[in-house]
Structures are given as structure tokens and as C-alpha cells.
Amino acid sequence: MLENLGSLSGTPWVYAIVGLSVLLDVFVPILPSGVLVITAATTAAGTRTAAGAVGVTSSVRGDADIAEMVALVLCAATASVLGDMVAYRLAWRGGDRFDRAIARSRRLTAAQERLGAALTRGGGGIVVLARFAPAGRSVVSLGAGVAHRTVREFLPWSALAGLAWAAYGVSLGYVGGQWLGASWISTAMSVFALFAAGSAAVFLMRRPERRDTTFPATATVAGSD
């Protein structure tokens, strides 16, 4: 994967691949969108670091690093929000069908069981935490649509969740690439940190917490997700 993305680093194709993966994984949670985001950032940072070793000035390399990392964050965050809203709208119009679709997916059913109580408690922060949890994004986006949350309630939290998730993944890849170069070791360490954040998100969502009235709970969310 590193070699393939390395050949596309700095071209529009890497953003297209990352964006499409992030957009679609709300429907197909097995897609490794987080891994792709990290790998793209690791490859870009590692390539810049290697370029510095052969004479590219640090200021030029630093400006290119910042521009590419910001572009990756914006690409992944935008795709995340678009995917959330598509799932939300589809679930709004066809709640029963999405209930059945979730029931047929072992991964989504497991996520529903883990996150159901937290979603019942509500709170906008749940949307952000769920973005890091395995399949949590799918459960929250579909659940918000089935429960007929308003766009004003859901969209700002979806945008914050997408931006936080994208920034975290790109930062992990960038630090790994700067530290160990574009290697599978740096990618593996960054991916481990991403999964650790997912485990922490699930833990925090299971903790009892006071309801946040900004994203009010409805009794249908846990049952509909």
C-alpha cells in the first residue's frame, strides 16, 4: 500500500482515493478509510523527509508538508460529512429498510448493541466520539435519520466529528512519517494509535453521562439503530 500511494503522492488521485473510501465507509464499515488516511499522510511526510536528505531546503519542505497535510484533512473531513449526510437522508426516507440492513450486518449489529445505550442518552458529543468507534459513524448517521433529527441538530456535530477524526488520522501519519519515514512500521504504529482512540471512544460512550440538550435524545434512536 505504501508503494502504491507513494507513486500517487502529490497528485489528485491520492485525494480521490482517500475521499471515496471515507465517503463510502459509512455504508461499508469494513473499508479501511482510516488506514488510507494515515498511509497517505505517512507516505507524503516520509517522501518529504527523504527529499530533505537529498538537498531540498527545510523551508520548502515544511511549506509543502503543511499544504499537503491540510489538503488531506479537508479532503477526508469533507468526504466524511458528505457520507454522513447521504446516509442520514436515506435513513430519513427509508427507516424500516435500514433497520433490516443493519440487522443483516454483523458488524453494524454489534456496534448497535455497544452504542445503543449511549445514543439513547443523546448528546452532541456522542456524534464526535462515535466517529472514532468501530462502525459508530454508520450507527449514528443512520440512527439520526431514522429518528428524524433535524439537519441543524446533526450537521454541525457531523462536521466537527469529521474534522476531528481527519485531523487526528493525518497527524498520526505525519508524525510517523517524520519520525520513521514512509515505512510499514510507522504506518502500523499510527494505525494502532487510531484503533486505541476507537477503543477509548467506545469506553467513554459507555460511561453514564448527563444528557446534552444541544442534540436531544429521542426514544427511537436506540431501537432504530
| 55-91: pLDDT as tens digits | 445 554 556 678 889 999 999 999 999 999 999 998 8
Cα dihedral sign, 65-68-71-77: negative
- Reference 22, options 38, 9, 11; nearest CA is 38
Cell of 136: 459508530
**List of residues 6+ apart from 134 with CB closer than 8 A:** 29, 107, 111, 198, 202
Residue 162 has pLDDT above 80, yes or no: yes
Mean of the pLDDT values across residues 4-29? Answer: 78
Question: Does pLDDT of 191 surpass 60?
Answer: yes
* DSSP type of residue 211: -
Please state the pTM of the whole predicted model. 0.76
pLDDT of residue 216: 47
Between 11-25, 39-53, 151-165, 182-196, the lowest mean confidence (pLDDT) is in 39-53
Whose CA is closest to 41, among 187, 212, 217?
Answer: 187
- The average confidence (pLDDT) of the chain is 76
pLDDT of 98-140, one tens digit each? 667 667 767 666 666 655 555 555 567 888 988 998 888 888 8
Spatial CA neighbour of 31 closest among 99, 103, 107, 102: 107
**Does 161 score more than 90 pLDDT?**
yes
Mapping DSSP to helix (H, G, I), strand (E, B) and coil, where does residue 36 land?
A: helix
Res. 32: pLDDT tops 70: yes
What was the pLDDT predicted at 74? 96
More confident residue, 102 or 163: 163
Q: Which helix (H) or strand (E) holds 173?
A: helix 151-180
Decide: 38 and 173 in contact? Cβ < 8 Å. yes
- The DSSP code sequence of 58-94 is HHHHHHHHHHHHHHHHHHHHHHHHHHHHHHHHHHHH-
